[in-house]
Amino acid sequence: MMIRRKKIYDGKAKTLYEGPEKDTLIQHFKDDATAFNAEKHAIIDGKGVLNQRICEYIFQQLEAIGIRTHFIRSLNMREQLIHKVEIIPVEVVVRNMAAGSLVKRLGLNKGDTLSETLVEYFYKNDTLGDPLISEDHITVLGWADEEEIEDMRALALRVNDFLRGLFANANIHLVDFKLEFGRLWENDTVEIVLADEISPDNCRLWDKETNDSLDKDRFRYDTGDMLEAYREVANRLGLMTQSGRDDIAGPVLVK
């Protein structure tokens, strides 16, 4: 019997529903693909399944090395049970190579390796186009205090170190990625934890041999089959096997 739950939030790629337990939510991964602040939109059958599985795997690996996330467990191929957190309205972008908006803003050459990992902050606001902000903006406007900013930065760099190794073993460059964080309240304590997702939707991933994109840039710029790229990432991480069918039901996801 299907249980209908209250919808809490409907985003571009995910929907949040009330959870079955106190202070939990259900995060549903949709097949919607968007770009340029949702000006470009399509439904890519099976995308949500792949993103959920990749995110599940990465969050489990991060938890295993002591990086706390909002992830509790997967409920099915599209949904996760997560801790309810107070999202900080700041997107933390970690860059290892020049690409995307960094190239446009500063005139850098696409693909140049940065001398050090660069961490940038953006105000999470679709209406304003997620503008670039400084640490002073964050504290003065009350989105997070200095200690929380330091926690987010430190966690972002730890995640970067882990993911660079994970993807390097899969012959993939981790060019850049976006993270979101939230406050997890437990009794009288609060902890900054990783929230949202980590998947090809918010990572820029390039094949090490060819520099071909294995992420959402294929959809943004019409440079190839987006679903094929996501399948390739999952395959290289050892998360799927091919059954021979042509549709998204073809790959059998390994739980």
Convert the pLDDT of each residue in 192-233 to its tens digit: 999 999 999 999 999 999 999 999 999 999 999 999 999 999
Taking 80 as the threshold, does the pLDDT of residue 125 lie above it?
A: yes
Q: Quote the pLDDT of residue 46.
A: 97
Residues 46-58 have a mean pLDDT of: 98
Taking 70 as the threshold, does the pLDDT of residue 166 lie above it?
A: yes
Taking 90 as the threshold, does the pLDDT of residue 251 lie above it?
A: no
Taking 60 as the threshold, does the pLDDT of residue 243 lie above it?
A: no
Q: Quote the pLDDT of residue 66.
A: 98
* Average pLDDT taken over every residue of the chain: 93
Taking 90 as the threshold, does the pLDDT of residue 81 lie above it?
A: yes
Give the DSSP per-residue string, the chain: -PPP--EEEE-SSEEEEE-SSTTEEEEEEPSEEEETTTTEEEE-TTHHHHHHHHHHHHHHHHHHTT--BSEEEE-SSSEEEEE--EE-SEEEEEEEE--THHHHHH-PPTTPEEEEEEEEEEE--GGGT--EE-HHHHHHTTS--HHHHHHHHHHHHHHHHHHHHHHHTTTEEEEEEEEEEEEEEETTEEEEEEES--STTTEEEEETTT--B-STHHHHTT-S-HHHHHHHHHHHTT-EE--S-SSTTSSEE--
Residues 138-156 have a mean pLDDT of: 98
Q: Quote the pLDDT of residue 245.
A: 34
Residues 178-191 have a mean pLDDT of: 95
Taking 60 as the threshold, does the pLDDT of residue 20 lie above it?
A: yes
Q: Quote the pLDDT of residue 241.
A: 58
Q: Quote the pLDDT of residue 4.
A: 77
Confidence of residue 55 (pLDDT cuts 50, 70, 90): very high
